[in-house]
Amino acid sequence: MKNRPPNILIIKSVNEEIKRVEEFVRAHFIFHNMPEKCFNPVFLCISEATTNSIVHGNKEDHRKTVELNIDCKSHLIQVRVTDEGEGFDVEKVPDPTHKDNLLNETGRGIHIIRSIAKNVEFNKKGNSLSFQIVCE
């Protein structure tokens, strides 16, 4: 019988840790027999949220951590990504689909997550993002 992976992964605020995040998500997919076709959209959302936490939340301060929490129920994946940053006001994030922002190299992560996931919510402080993805 397969060992159940932990629900929480804590990483340092460096981009190289995304590889550990991918392995963590993959372990949940294997354990819960999630459809392979769902892996890429799920990992895309999780990696976008994690990268935002590393770069914008923790300002790439390797002393700070990002906590990733995954809970799988049937074909529903619930995710929470929390950093140690000061947080932000999601309403002040520029719309990446606005003509003035189309050529910007950054600023699409939240838009991508909202286009794939459901129940996308930030905590009041703005340093924790949660969302759900249905995989069928």
φ/ψ (deg, to 5) at 9 = -125, 130
Q: What is the pLDDT of residue 40?
A: 96
Q: Please state, in angstroms and rounded to a whole number, the distance separating the CA atoms of residues 121 and 128.
A: 8
Helix (H/G/I), strand (E/B), else coil: 44:
helix
CA dihedral angle for residue 60, residue 55, residue 57, residue 102, rounded to 10 degrees: 160
What backbone torsions phi and psi does residue 15 show, to the nearest 5 degrees? -60, -25
Longest dimension (CA), the chain: 53
Predicted TM-score of the model (pTM): 0.91
Strands 8-12 and 65-73: antiparallel
CA distance 27 to 7: 10
Per-residue model confidence (pLDDT) at position 73: 86
pLDDT at residue 88 in the model: 84
Give residue 3's pLDDT. 85
Give the residues of the chain that fall short of pLDDT 50: none
C-beta separation of 28 from 5 below 8 A: yes
Please state the φ and ψ torsions of residue 112, each to the nearest 5 degrees.
-60, -45
Q: What is the pLDDT of residues 60-91, one digit of tens each?
A: 999 999 999 999 987 899 999 999 999 987 77
